[in-house]
Amino acid sequence: MNAPVISVVITMYREGKLLGETVDSILNQTFQDFEIVLVNNNADPLTLDVANRYCKTHPEKIRIVHEPVQGVSAAKNRGILESHGTYIALHDGDDLSHPERLSIQLETILQNPGVSFVCSWFDRVGPDGKQTIKKDIADATPYFWFRTEQIIKKLYPDRTTKNPGSPLDFSLISTTFFKRQTAIDVGLFDNRFNPRWFEDFEFLTRLYETGEVIKIPQSLLRYRMHTPERAAILRKQMNWLAIVRHLDLFYRILWERYLNKTPEAPKIFRELRAFWLTYVSGFFLEQEKGQTLGKMALKRALTENFQDPYIWKLWGKSLLPQVLYPKLFWFDELNPNPLPDGANAHLVRGLFSPSLQKGPETINRVC
């Protein structure tokens, strides 16, 4: 049997019956020379039952591979390495692809052989997959990623592609489409980001180094919002402090890779450090016992970018009585629980400061 042109890699964890709708959206593609690689990343029985049923009814199209190491990076790496296709379409287990997604993305990459990856607009839909909340989302979302994208793209002044202005794009990972070999050549996803958070954007920065990005100005995916139950499952995997640590890891990786790439890098990293310190201050300010640490993060942000009025605005709010914080910031109520182990002044002083960290960890990207 000849290898398929495209491998659609779908990771499985706790999608349940929603996985069936996702698989159907791929089976109904207008372009049919593909395989579906379902990656069992310690999926629950209901999800596995759905996957097995589809394997039995479509054995020529669908197969299951197993990745025991828990995490998005490990699961996606397993799926890519086990794939037989020339091209990879990544897909989360609860999103829904437009019927012409594979056809349009394949045609685009064939017509532009030097691109690093192709992505597209998407629609945000409700948990039922039917109610459209927002159509044709083009920019990185939320604002945190849009602003991060604006800063990080300054680290690429020496692009040698046909279109040096081709934007770094923190695309929704379920819309990305690229050559399998390109992903392998850049080192796949970094397993240090397991179980989740920031692994997709770090991977895209490495893909971006290999060529242009083309974002198709059409919604080719319906991104399903999580139910409260599924959101709770994901929160269980990582608490807010682990998310902060992963962002710190992302910063150090960027620092090691780009500090000497341009004379402007130190200035760019100061801007990024100030913005990310402002962002993580919110995690601390939301904690009833985190006020001092949140203010510390904001104070550090001001020293990095003294002229940013947004940081000054947040700093002013942080000086008001804590009881007002839910009205002043972006959370509904203060969290009364004790701070997690490791949430302390030493952590906040060291965030996004590689010189204060120990040596870089050994990179273990490929599972």
Question: Taking the mean position of all CA atoms in its chain, how far away is CA 337?
Answer: 28
Per-residue model confidence as pLDDT tens digits over 90-117: 999 999 999 999 999 999 999 998 899 9
126 vs 145: CA distance, rounded Å: 22
**Domain that residue 278 falls in:** 239-350
**Are 194 and 250 found together in one domain?**
no
255 falls within a domain: yes
On whether both 34 and 136 belong to a single domain, the answer is yes
Q: What is the pLDDT of residue 162?
A: 53
pLDDT digits (tens, 9 = 90+) for 26-73: 999 999 999 999 999 999 999 999 999 999 999 999 999 999 999 999
Q: Which residues of 142-156 are buried (b: 16+ CB within 10 A; e: fewer)?
A: eebbebbbebbbbbb
Please indicate, yes or no, whether residues 189 and 225 belong to a single structural domain of this protein.
Answer: yes
Residue with tokens 């100061």: 270
pLDDT of res. 163: 54
Q: Is residue 97 part of a domain?
A: yes
Residue 98 counted as domain residue: yes
All residue ranges of the chain with pLDDT < 50 are 164-165, 356-367
What pTM did the predictor assign?
A: 0.90
Task: Round to whole Å and give the CA distance between 165 and 158.
Answer: 11
Q: Are residues 34 and 145 in the same domain?
A: yes
pLDDT of residue 301: 97
pLDDT score recorded for residue 335: 95
CATH number at residue 61: 3.90.550.10
Please state the separation of Cα 232 from the chain's center in Å. 18
Q: How far is it, in rounded angstroms, from Cα 133 to Cα 123?
A: 8
Same domain, 205 and 252: no
Q: Are residues 164 and 271 in the same domain?
A: no
Please report the pLDDT score of residue 1 as a whole number.
58
Q: Are residues 318 and 174 in the same domain?
A: no
Specify which residues 6 forms β-bridges with. Answer: 34, 87
User: What local confidence, expressed as pLDDT, does residue 363 receive?
Assistant: 36
Alpha-carbon distances of 357 from 187, 192, 361, rounded to whole Å: 24, 16, 10
Q: Cα(310)–Cα(302) distance, rounded to whole angstroms?
A: 10
Domains in the chain: how many in total? 2
**Whole-angstrom Cα distance, residue 119 to residue 122?**
9
Given this model, what pLDDT does residue 159 score? 60
One domain, residues 41 and 66: yes
Q: How far apart are CA 60 and CA 80, in angstroms?
A: 18
Same domain, 81 and 107: yes
